[in-house]
Amino acid sequence: MTHPTAVVTGSTSGIGAATARALAAQGTHVLVTGRDAARGRALVAEIEGTGGTASFVAGDLTAPPPALRELAASWTEALGGRVDVLVHNAAVCPAVDTVQLTDEDLESTLAVNVRAPQVLTAALAPGMAARGSGAIVVIGSWMATVGHAFVGLYSATRAAEAQLARSWAAEFGPRGVRVNTVAPGATRTPINDASDASDDVIARMTAGTPAGRPGRPEEVAAAVAWLVSDAAAYVHGATIPVDGGITATR
């Protein structure tokens, strides 16, 4: 029996790693990818230790389009010639305002959050469409729908990627490829885990939400796992908030 296959970008930690674990748990051969080879290989070993199947291919999503297409080809080869699921999770989020945003951060944020998903989808979606099945999930953000004094560029790129997902749903859906977005709220990940408990920004952001707490990567991953499964066969072009109610009630 052939395992379904999946690529999860930025999957060496946080939501990406949780998603890789969740997909592997439902029998998918998961390709872990990111820049940190040590963490990537550790996650592969963890997944294999629990009976799952995983591989690691290092990749830098700030690379120019030709290199990204080569990366997509290497993923396909590592997965035995096919990618059934593509999860666009990797993102850059410079926590500064408009004036302080550096040219380097501008370029890397646009590259990782918009250019890479566009190029990688263009490289991999046609193969899914030719087989008549596949799923693409964009990990977006609740910040894509509201204004912020900081992280404005990040929010804008997340909104752009969600719009790409809707367009991809229209383009590839009729050929069997479902495309959707999961929009997490303030989620506790290693990147934003407060070292100073007296100023826990994530906790303060979520204190007044219906959930009353930060999200967990595993809660976002569960939504992704459902979206790529047959149980969500009629879900196309949707944006699913997994945000504790922050968007609806803010």
Strand partners, 54: 30
3-state secondary structure 56-105: EEECCCCCCHHHHHHHHHHHHHHCCCCCCEEEECCCCCCCCCCCCCCHHH
154 is catalytic: yes
Q: Are 65 and 90 in contact (CB under 8 A)?
A: no
Tokens 């749903």 belong to residue: 169
How would you classify residue 102: left for phi > 0, otherwise alpha for psi between -120 and 50, otherwise beta? beta
Report the C-alpha dihedral over residues 205, 208, 209, 210, rounded to 10 degrees.
160
Catalytic entry in 56, 154, 168, 172: 154
Supply angle C-alpha 211, 216, 221, rounded to 5: 115
What are φ and ψ of residue 91, in 5° steps? -160, 150
Strand partners, 31: 7, 55
- Output the six-digit token pair for 138: 């964009």
CA distance 248 to 250: 6
Strands 177-184 and 134-139, bridge-based pairing: parallel
Strand partners, 170: none
Residues marked as catalytic = 154
